[in-house]
Amino acid sequence: MSTLLHTLDAGVLHLTLNRADKRNAFDRGLYAALTDAIQAGDIDPEVRVIQLMAEGGCFSAGNDIADFLAEPEQGRRTDPPLKLLQAMRACRKPIVAQVHGKAVGIGATLLLHCDLVYVSEESALVFPFVALGLCPEGGSTQLIPQLAGHVKAFEWLVLGQPCSAMEAAQCGLVNAVLPVDQLSDQVDRAVTRLAALDPQAVQQSSRRLQLAAGEQLDALMQAEMDLFESLLEGEAAQRALKAFVSR
Ligand code: COA
């Protein structure tokens, strides 16, 4: 069974993370599948909206920790997450996220690059990077302070305190918090409305919003990943990551 499920229905490309036994952690295969699916959806005229969701009770546990410890077959360990985030940022089709349960690490950061985000009441965004001897990524060191202010950003990104669904909604990180039994109906209404709009108007408007975020964000995402990559080699990260896999 593939770790990413695709269906296309009435202009909506549904992409479902399907690695629930590993809490939808992103291994290299899942990164590549999601990056390719977003890039293919972006150029497919049949696709008007991309809906991202996950199987099971955890949206995503972030990067696969075993993969972080393994030697990369080629390139750097941080190439797959950076490529995914760049594909999301470049995508002109709106990306709508449906989040139930915890979104951890890149599972949380990638939500900053979606256009609409709906979460269940049980959800939380968790950025455990510093406790793992790593650093925040995906533009989060700029995007989260802009939305929530420095002290909340520091609490979530450095102290590693989970950002509850309610806090995320209060500061504009997500659109709405819903009881889990109402979540998919709310997302269906949003994607149906988007799919009914003129595609050119939607895509051009989306592009204007992306450009407004500026080249500075792309440069920051690269710089954060460079730092992340060097910290990954460090003793603190190696110790913390090995402790997780040998629990
Ligand atoms: N990478 C690889 N495997 C992971 C994983 C990750 N990031 N997160 C969870 N898993 C695996 C576990 O090893 C376990 O596998 P096993 O059944 O073969 O032993 C399985 O997923 C279930 O994990 P478990 O911790 O028992 O699930 P839980 O529901 O109690 O907790 C989380 C879910 C996400 C809170 C917890 O797994 C966690 O904190 N994971 C690490 C998240 C993290 O630090 N990510 C950032 C990486 S930069």
Domain assignment of residue 227, yes or no:
no
- Domain CATH for 121: 3.90.226.10
Please tell me whether residue 26 adopts helix, strand or coil conformation: strand
Q: What is the mean pLDDT of residues 144-154?
A: 98
Atom of ligand 1 nearest to the CA of 66: 2
Distance CA 176, CA 189 (A): 13
Summary mean pLDDT of the chain: 97
Got the DSSP string for 134-191? Answer: ----TTHHHHHHHHH-HHHHHHHHTS---EEHHHHHHTTSSSEEE-HHHHHHHHHHHH
Choose among 80, 54, 57, 56: nearest CA to 67. Answer: 80
pLDDT digits 0-9 by tens, 69-105: 998 888 999 999 999 999 999 999 999 999 999 999 9
Ligand 1: residues with CB < 6 A are: 22-23, 25, 58, 61-66, 102, 104-105, 128, 132
Output the pLDDT for position 99: 98
Atom of ligand 1 nearest to the CA of 134: 48
Residue 191 — pLDDT band, cuts 50, 70, 90? very high
Asked whether residue 170 is assigned to any structural domain, the reply reads yes
Token pair belonging to 204: 């051009």
Query: pLDDT at residue 14 above 90?
Result: yes
- What φ, ψ does residue 148 adopt, rounded to 5°? -110, -10
CB 42 within 8 A of CB 6: no
Mean pLDDT of 43-65: 98
Pull the structure tokens for residue 88.
């999301």
**Domain range for 155:** 4-181
Confidence band (pLDDT; 50, 70, 90) for 241? very high
Side-chain half-sphere of 155: how many Cα atoms within 13 Å? 12
How crowded is the C-beta side of 123, counted as CA atoms within 13 Å?
Answer: 33
Distance 134 CA to ligand 1 centre (A): 17
Q: What is the pTM (predicted TM-score) of this model?
A: 0.98
Q: How many whole angstroms from 23 Cα to the centroid of ligand 1?
A: 6
pLDDT for the residue 70: 93
In a domain, 200, yes or no: no
Q: Tell whether 192 is covered by a domain.
A: no
Q: What percent of the chain has pLDDT over 90?
A: 95
Residue 28 maps to a domain: yes
- Flag whether 10 is in a domain: yes
Q: What integer pLDDT is reported at residue 34 of this predicted model?
A: 98
Copy the structure tokens of residue 21: 């036994």
Per-residue model confidence (pLDDT) at position 1: 85
Encoded tokens for 43: 């150029």
Number of compact structural domains in the chain: 1
In a domain, 35, yes or no: yes
Nearest CA to ligand 1 atom 6: 64
Calculate how far, in angstroms, residue 68's C-alpha sits from the geometric centre of ligand 1.
Answer: 13
Distance from the alpha carbon of residue 190 to the mean position of ligand 1, in angstroms: 31
pLDDT for the residue numbered 39: 98
CA-based torsion, 163, 23, 111, 129: positive or negative? positive
Residue 74 counted as domain residue: yes
